[in-house]
Structure 1
């Protein structure tokens, strides 16, 4: 863990919820994009960090919510997504649309299917966050410049504190990744944190609980 990380450096306000956005691919092991979606390098390197973070959030009592992009095979529900750089992706009959096999959503955790980039758009995410009495959302997954970005914007507009873990997200390109993080930080000055920041926050939270 980075020695500079402290409980305060996570800037977590009130009750946090970890939102795992679109880490899909089923049994696929390749460090590549999902279906027709381009992806910057580094996905394999991020896996242990993401895996450890999810486990640690569970240990620290932070709810984990899973987001999965899914479309009908006919793509009747994909809207304007194919107007951009992406090809056909996340069809419900494609095994690679499943949440990545190295992850393990638990029965008590919500798995929310979405059909647009934002995890808020047309989904029950707002209901789930209210059920958890969430104040701060922690975002990990991808793509930084697409689903992370638009979910962060909607979370901001729903008055949540947004924290994007910069070492647990990846974009379509390094350039797009960086620009999107800048745009998110423009909305909330403390929005960009790291996995080490969250670990330090959880360590402090568990220590305080042990003293109580």
Structure 2
């Protein structure tokens, strides 16, 4: 918890030695009748921003923690959740592939909405000596909101970049962001306004979770192209192969 017993004011720079990036339910099948095309489009846009946010955080030495739903499978390992969410035809497959974890990332599987409820997240943050959190992921008005609430109650300083969350409806997303800003004292500026002091000579580690085979990667290339902002599916395919 924050040893100073106070919450960060908007406008303060990110301090890597105090900070962890929490990605909430970004590995997600998004296979629910309640989630329409509008949400998938918004989540795709947010996913690109989350990918860049994670890249900048990693360059600054900030660890990434995946706080991911177990989808009711109490026997699942995270690798099984990833495999489930990257199967052909799954609505959330392109986004899950775009945001796959790397070898030096951490994860906790959560049974309910909050990343803190029934998980080891707080103990992990204590182990890492982090009292400042950047929250990103889906959905902004549910799991991100519940996690922000629990983080605030534990006196963590909060950043929730507004371009790195998405909800089922834009109005609900804005309402959640206002709540997190007004009540949980979160800094909700866009991620590109955050200042990260990047470190030098850092190389990306190899991927731990190798989910795609060549055939799956070929099938995913058009979706990856749209998410990665690449006009050439071949370039997107190379991204999926490297995923660095």
**2:149 aligned to 142, 146, 153, which one?**
153
- Give the direction of change, closer, same or farther, for the CA distance of 1:51–1:154 in structure 2 (3 Å limit): same
Does structure 1 conserve the Cα–Cα contact (< 8 Å) formed by 2:149 and 2:184? Answer: no
Task: Give 1:183's match in structure 2, choosing from 165, 175, 179.
Answer: 179
Which residue pairs with 1:18 in the alignment? Answer: 21
Please state if 1:58 is matched with 2:58. yes
> CA 1:12–1:188 in structure 2 vs 1: closer, same or farther (change >3 Å)?
farther
Residue from 35, 41, 44 that aligns with 2:32: 35
Does 1:136 pair with 2:132? yes
User: Offset at 1:37?
Assistant: 4.3
Structure 2 unpaired stretches of 5+: 1-9, 75-80, 201-244
Q: Structure 1 length normalisation: TM-score?
A: 0.72
Distance 1:171 1:163 in 2: 17
Whether the aligned pair in 1 keeps the contact of 2:137 and 2:164 (CA below 8 Å) is yes
Is the 1:11–1:190 Cα contact (8 Å) retained in structure 2?
A: no
Say if 2:169 is the partner of 1:173. Answer: yes
| Superimposed CA distance per residue, residues 39-63 of structure 1 (whole angstroms, 9 cap, x where no aligned partner) | 6342222232211111111111011
1:102 has 2:104 as partner: no
Q: Determine which structure has the larger helix proportion and give its number.
A: 2
SS of alignment partner, residue 61 of structure 1: coil
Aligned to 1:71: 71
User: More strand by proportion, 1 or 2?
Assistant: 1
Q: Runs (4+) of structure 1 moved beyond 4 Å?
A: 92-99
Paired positions, count: 176
What does 1:4-15 align with in structure 2 at a 5 Å threshold?
Answer: 9-12=11-14, 15=18
In structure 1, the gaps of 5 or more residues are 1-7, 27-32, 76-89, 208-212
